[in-house]
Structure 1
Amino acid sequence: MPLGPPSSAIHIHSQGASDPSQPAPRTPTSITIHPVALLSILDHYLRRTDSQERVIGTLLGVRNDNEIEVRSSFAVLHSETDEQVAVDMEYHRTMYELHHKVSPKEVIVGWYSTGSNLNTYSALIQNFYSQETAPHPAILVSVNAGVEEGKEAGVTAYTSSPVGVYPKPENCVFIPLPVELRFHDAERSGVDLLTGTASSPSSTSSQPVADVEIIERSLHSVDNMLDRVLAYVQGVLAGGKEGDAAIGRYLMDTLGAATEDLEKGGFNSSLQDTLTISYLANLVRSQAEVSARLALATAP
């Protein structure tokens, strides 16, 4: 099966026999995806040309035992026809080298594709990425944007297994894997903004909020969580709820650490630093304004 012009596409061959002395790599059992990677995939899909039915790209992340954490992704140029598929793997390798300089801990874990169609070309591309991730198996993350009739939007992850006594690169079966979205605390404000816009009844998109508003929302969230904890503790003490030893230990560890920090004066020290920085910033701003006015007054 031709794979397009040899200038930019790579001709994919089957993998060689593995070393029997080396232990077999673990097959991943769960996939987690960060919002940055998912949004990059959707942005790539929105920027596709009219002739493209789907877009593909490289997934980067880290492996923890049999779990893969997808942290970022980048687009890879490719074209498909009824007779051939061409993938610009030179561009793929150049992009990975640049990304590796910025995030050396992230490695290639697989690739992504939009849509729900898994065909022979998908098996060929999967075979190439399996060589890129060897000795670990490559994963495929299929993102359905919800534009196909009868197909709901969603994300599905797969790994592959060869089929046949003498398997060929285009012969494999895709095995579904559990996948979930995970985000760090630093990404929460962006995720909340997107989810709030999606659930808004109006068509007007929300605008990014200021840092003060983010802090205000965070304080309200903490206040609500403290109310829930207080209601739980009062209910246990009053005998209306059955106490959970695990929750009790968690609250003791959390509140004990916070109280210890307060007793050490850590909060007061941090507050003093913040006030000092704010005072110096206002002083510099006032000095700059005075200098600008003097310059205007003495100008000829």
Structure 2
Amino acid sequence: MAVDQEHFVHLARPLAPTVMGFAAGSAPLTVNIQPQAVFSVIDHATRRDIRDTQSTRVIGALVGTRSEDGSEVEVRSTFAIPHTENEDQVEVDVEYQKNMLALTLKASPRETLLGWYTTSHELNSFSALIQNFFASPETGTFPHPAVHLTISTEPGAPIETKTYISAPVAVSPERAAESCLFVEVPHKLLFSDAERAALGTVTAAAESETRAAPVASDLESLAQALEAVSDLLERVSGYVGEVLDEERDGSHALGQYLMNALSLAPKVSSTQIEHDFNNHIQDVLMVSYLANTIRTQIDLAQRLATAPLAGSDKDGGDKREGAGEDGGKHYDGGRSGGGGGGAGRGGKRAGRTGAGARAGGGGQQREAREPRENGE
């Protein structure tokens, strides 16, 4: 997609810098952004090759989910789109965008195309052209508005995000395709407790000289969260006190926000909160104790189940070994007795010796020998 700068600037430059904003309550659209989408955009900006693109910004597509009524969207992932931009024209690889969108939607069927992003807050004439491309019925989000996300990625500066939708402004359909009015809509970053802890660790590592930070345990994370909440409460209390003392002018929007936040908090006394907290700690300790007890019982049962098997094998082996030794001795004694009996045929003393040897093998053989010896 290439555009002549002379023709396009005449149509879009008076309109593109115009931005209209809405409050959070009256906005036609609310944008929620997941942290992985922001990290993907920053990674794309970090890995860009300025020599090939000849541009100080990069662009890509936003993919996520949209509510049933279309009033809220959630940006979950992004993918980069190669483009070339200079003072005369801008070129975007449309085929690459179509193929990547098809692969992304195949991997995540519940998601859909939401719009596009760029790493610059500047809304120039080419921004209107790209916005209309993503909002068109053939290649865009029609009939829903396309979301335009801008992220500042300057080194050493804080990361700032802004979101826009567009409205056509022209007197003819031909000019409407090449011009638009950007409307700024509210947005917020969504992240879970685990992601909050990860972001806090990344921030701590960025502020240290070694660019490293230890991972906090659950108890340390809880302590840090309580300290942050305490600091915020002190800040809000100081602001309210200054407004009541007429030391500073109050804000109706901020006052309404504080009233809405306080109305959601349960009306309980500090004594009741402390009592509930202590009971909760006791319940946690009891569950931990029961879990350790069950683990110990399972380990003990496994050892008791395997111990008799090892003992029975050992005893059986000893018994079989002892039986073999006794059998060997009995067999040898029998053979010795037989030899003694053979020698007894030649003399009386030898016969007694043979009878005595056979007596070690059995009493019946000895009784059978004695009458024969008396007869002799």
User: In structure 2, do the counterparts of structure 1 residues 186 and 80 end up closer, same or farther at CA, with 3 Å as the change threshold?
Assistant: same
Distance 1:146 1:174 in 2: 23
Counterpart in 1 of 2:151? 143
User: In the alignment, what sits opposite 1:44?
Assistant: 44
SS at match of 1:73: strand
The answer to whether the 8 A contact 1:189-1:214 is kept is no
Kindly report the root-mean-square deviation, in angstroms, between the aligned alpha carbons of the 2 structures: 4.3
SS at match of 1:248: coil
Distance 1:208 1:126, change over 3 A: farther
Runs of 4+, deviation exceeding 4 Å: 221-228, 249-252, 266-270, 272-276
Deviation string, structure 1 residues 133-163 (Cα, Å, up to 9, x no partner)? 1110001001122359xx9751111111111
Q: Does structure 1 conserve the Cα–Cα contact (< 8 Å) formed by 2:201 and 2:214?
A: yes
**In the alignment, is the contact (CA less than 8 A) between 2:167 and 2:182 conserved in 1?**
yes
User: Which one-letter code corresponds to 1:60 in the other structure?
Assistant: V
- Tell me by how many angstroms 1:107 deviates: 1.3
Q: Match for 2:142 among 131, 134, 156?
A: 134
1:122 to 113, 127, 145: 127
Check if 1:163 corresponds to 2:169. yes
Give the conservation status (yes or no) of the 8 Å contact 1:60–1:71: yes
In the alignment of these two chains, the number of paired residues is 236
| Contact 2:119–2:153 (Cα < 8 Å) also in 1 | yes
Question: What does residue range 79-90 of structure 1 map to in structure 2 within 5 Å?
Answer: 79-90=84-95
2:220 match: 217
Give aligned-pair identity as a percent: 35
Does residue 62 of structure 2 align to residue 59 of structure 1?
A: yes
Q: In structure 2, do the counterparts of structure 1 residues 90 and 226 end up closer, same or farther at CA, with 3 Å as the change threshold?
A: closer
* Residue pairs, 1:249-288, within 5 angstroms: 267=287, 271=291, 275=295
Instruction: Choose from 178, 192, 195 the match for 2:186.
Output: 178
Q: After superposition, what is the alpha-carbon deviation per residue over 1:224-272, rounded to whole angstroms, capped at 9, x for unaligned?
A: 69999xxxxxxxxxxxxxxx774337999xx99xx89x98xx9469946
1:65-110 residue CA offsets vs partner (Å, 9 max, x unmatched)? 4122212111111111333222112222222222223332221111
Alpha-carbon shift at residue 62 of structure 1 (Å): 1.6
For residues 10-68 of structure 1, the C-alpha deviation after alignment (integer angstroms, 9 at most, x for no partner) is: xxxxxxxxxxxxxxxx9843222121111111111111112321100011122234122
Residue identity matched to 1:82: E
Whole-angstrom distance in 1 between the partners of 2:38 and 2:58:
13
Q: Tell me, which stretches of 5 or more residues in structure 1 are unaligned?
A: 5-25, 229-243, 284-300
Aligned to 2:35: 35
Higher helix content, 1 or 2: 2
For the pair shown, which has the larger CA radius of gyration, 1 or 2?
2
CA distance in 1: counterparts of 2:86 and 2:229, whole angstroms: 58
Task: Report which of the two has the higher share of strand.
Answer: 1
TM-score, reference length from structure 1? 0.63
Please state whether the residue corresponding to 1:116 is helix, strand or coil: coil
